[in-house]
Amino acid sequence: MTWIKRKFSRKLGIALFLAVGTTLALADFFILKNIKTYLIGELKDNLVSQAKQISAVLDPGTFTKRDPRWQELIRKMDQSSGTRVTIVRKDGVVLYDSEVDWKALETLENHADRPEVTDALRFGEGSSIRYSHTLRSDLQYAAIPYPLMQDAEGTIRLAIPLNRLNNEMKGFANILFAATFTALLIGIGLIWIILRWSAHPLEEMTRAAESIANGRMDLKVRERSEDEIGQLAKAFNAMTRKLSSTFDQLKNDKNEIEAVLSSMVEHVIAVDASGKVIFINPAAEKLFGIRGDNVRGRPFMEAVRQAAVSEILKSVMGDDTERFEEIRLILPEERFFEARAVPMQGVRSERRYLLVLHDVTRIRKLEQVRREFVSNVSHELKTPLTSIQGYAETLLAGALADSKHNRDFVDTIFKEADRLNRLVNDLLDLASIESGRKKPQITEFELAAVVNEVHGMARSRTEKTGVRIENRVPPAFLIQADKDQMKQLLLNLIDNAVKFNLPNGSVAVESSESPEAVTFSIKDTGIGIPEKDLPRIFERFYRIDKSHSREIEGTGLGLAIVKHIVEAHGGSIRAESVPGSGSNFTITLPKNHSSI
């Protein structure tokens, strides 16, 4: 039965077939019934008129005494017309019957209670149909009184078997049924053609709707008529156009949003009401080391095991109120984020939550560096100031008169003041290079000459320790840089190389060049720098093993200044060292200064 259910046209076809078939069958039935009633009526009228003809030839004597003449007359009539004639006396005694022998007439039963007989006597005409066992057929009876209703002497009754009529009716019914059946067949054929023809556009639309459901929006159905189906096709095409443009619009909007989210440096994650990941942008994927495809649809707290992030999401999901707080994550290095978690309205009013993490690590680290810097500066300033104050107090308290020590005290005050001065100068230099106020004044000069100049400045220290300085830079080696800043850079590096050297050690300054850059290095045979400290020596105030360095004066600003000078020139500096056997600082400066 599924083949019926699957097609509307089939259902409609079967319904029409049943309706038309039933109507035709009923019509046939009523036609046959009416025709039969009509024919029987005709037959009866015919019998009545025949009876009237008989009545015309009879005379009143017929009913007083049985006369074989009459019997013979009606027998002949029967033979010629096939109609049985019976003449019944008023009291019901059968006087003559065309189909009964003369002698047997006496034995016939009384006919007074035959309905046609009683009706004829009462109403002037009577008829009825009864089954005759003798003839095995229905018989049509008709009777009239003789001579008149009031003074009737008897009745003339005629009877004719209905089997001929029935046979004719049967033949007629067969023709009628055959015609009906043919008409029905032709009707079904026509209905089938019409249904196929009208169902075709519907099938076309069904296929188009299926294609649309599969994402194909470019399909159109033919608008072939002006009727309801044609209007449906028009409406369908209009709907497809609208759907397609809305779809395109949505796709565009989605692409734009995705492009924005993808290019954002902020880390964006969206979860649904049950905490499952709906969206994660590339920045967040990278931050948590996960892939969107793998975590989409999974609980976020399972995919990203970060207590602080889970905490803030849980709290926003708890009361649907926006949260904004700073969180610290170990990834595995320590990083700080401003986290904003907001509830959103999804489609069909489903709750969704958006988490945006903004990386503030650099700001926090800078703040920390600034705090440390202030405390370092204060500390470095405090030491010489305390000792100046101490010695000045001692002098004031009477030591001025102590000719043996007063000079030493003043000497110390001078040294400490000098140290303070250098410290403040270093800080000022650092500040101005760092702020970019002091732009390098690029000129071309011989590097070897500057190395010699610095060598001269460091002479007092080299003589004390016996450290040799070898200037291996060729005299004609030219560099383009800010000469004063290069002098300071070399002074700081050579000062370190001598200061952290061993007695009678050596320092070598070398140079090389490539088409793009010049490189020079300061190499010593000193105490070296432990590997763990190497990355940090360029930080301000950073000194290795402060207790040990205490003997060797310094504030830890020298290399910070060097680094800033190199960076201001667009170059780079690299430190290598083998603890116990020496260090090597290599500076590379670009030749093309347009990049600065």
CB atoms within 10 A of CB 231: 12
Distance between CA atoms of residues 566 and 485, nearest Å: 9
CB of 351 to ligand ATP, least distance (A): 56
Whichever of 259 and 552 has its CB closer to Mg ion, that residue is: 552
Question: How does DSSP classify residue 107?
Answer: G
Distance between CA atoms of residues 551 and 359, nearest Å: 42
Whichever of 46 and 549 has its CB closer to ligand ATP, that residue is: 549
Taking CB under 5 A as the rule, does residue 496 contact Mg ion? yes
Do the beta carbons of residue 220 and residue 237 sit within 8 Å?
yes
Q: Per CB under 5 A, which of residues 321..380 are in contact with Mg ion?
A: none
CA dihedral 159, 161, 166, 169 (to 10 degrees): -50
Residue of minimal Cβ distance to ligand ATP: 558
Q: Which does 409 bind (CB under 5 to 8 A by kind): Mg ion, ligand ATP, none?
A: none
CB of 549 to ligand ATP, least distance (A): 5
Residue 154: what residue type? G
Question: How does DSSP classify residue 551?
Answer: T
Q: Which does 526 bind (CB under 5 to 8 A by kind): ligand ATP, Mg ion, none?
A: ligand ATP
CB of 537 to ligand ATP, least distance (A): 4
Residue of minimal Cβ distance to Mg ion: 558
CB of 591 to Mg ion, least distance (A): 28
Distance between CA atoms of residues 67 and 187, nearest Å: 65
247: Cβ–Cβ under 8 A, 6 or more apart, which residues?
217
Q: Per CB under 6 A, which of residues 495..554 are in contact with ligand ATP?
A: 496-497, 500, 524, 526-529, 537, 542-544, 549, 554
Whichever of 17 and 538 has its CB closer to ligand ATP, that residue is: 538
CB of 560 to ligand ATP, least distance (A): 6
Distance between CA atoms of residues 271 and 274, nearest Å: 8
Beta strand pairing call for 323-330 and 478-482: unpaired
Of 190-198, 394-402, 461-469, 555-563, the segment contacting Mg ion by CB under 5 A is 555-563
CB of 370 to ligand ATP, least distance (A): 18
Taking CB under 6 A as the rule, does residue 556 contact ligand ATP? yes
Q: Which does 430 bind (CB under 5 to 8 A by kind): Mg ion, ligand ATP, none?
A: none
CB of 398 to Mg ion, least distance (A): 39
579: Cβ–Cβ under 8 A, 6 or more apart, which residues?
527, 528, 529, 530, 531
Residue 464: what residue type? K
Taking CB under 5 A as the rule, does residue 555 contact Mg ion? no
Distance between CA atoms of residues 75 and 97, nearest Å: 8
DSSP run (H or E) holding 28? helix 8-57
Distance between CA atoms of residues 448 and 454, nearest Å: 10
Of 133-141, 306-314, 373-381, 492-500, the segment contacting ligand ATP by CB under 6 A is 492-500
Whichever of 240 and 496 has its CB closer to Mg ion, that residue is: 496
- Judged by CB under 5 A, the residue of 313, 558, 573, 583 near Mg ion is 558
Do the beta carbons of residue 315 and residue 323 sit within 8 Å?
yes
Q: What angle do CA 416, 422, 423 make, to 5 degrees?
A: 90
CB of 494 to ligand ATP, least distance (A): 9
Q: How many residues bind Mg ion (CB under 5 A)?
A: 2
Whichever of 261 and 561 has its CB closer to ligand ATP, that residue is: 561
Three-state DSSP at 308 gives helix
> The tokens of 56 are what?
């015309």
Do the beta carbons of residue 35 and residue 43 sit within 8 Å?
no
Whichever of 440 and 558 has its CB closer to Mg ion, that residue is: 558
Q: Per CB under 6 A, which of residues 60..99 are in contact with ligand ATP?
A: none
Q: Which does 43 bind (CB under 5 to 8 A by kind): ligand ATP, Mg ion, none?
A: none
Binding site for ligand ATP (CB under 6 A): 426, 492, 496-497, 500, 524, 526-529, 537, 542-544, 549, 554-560, 583
For Mg ion, the binding residues (CB under 5 A) are 496, 558
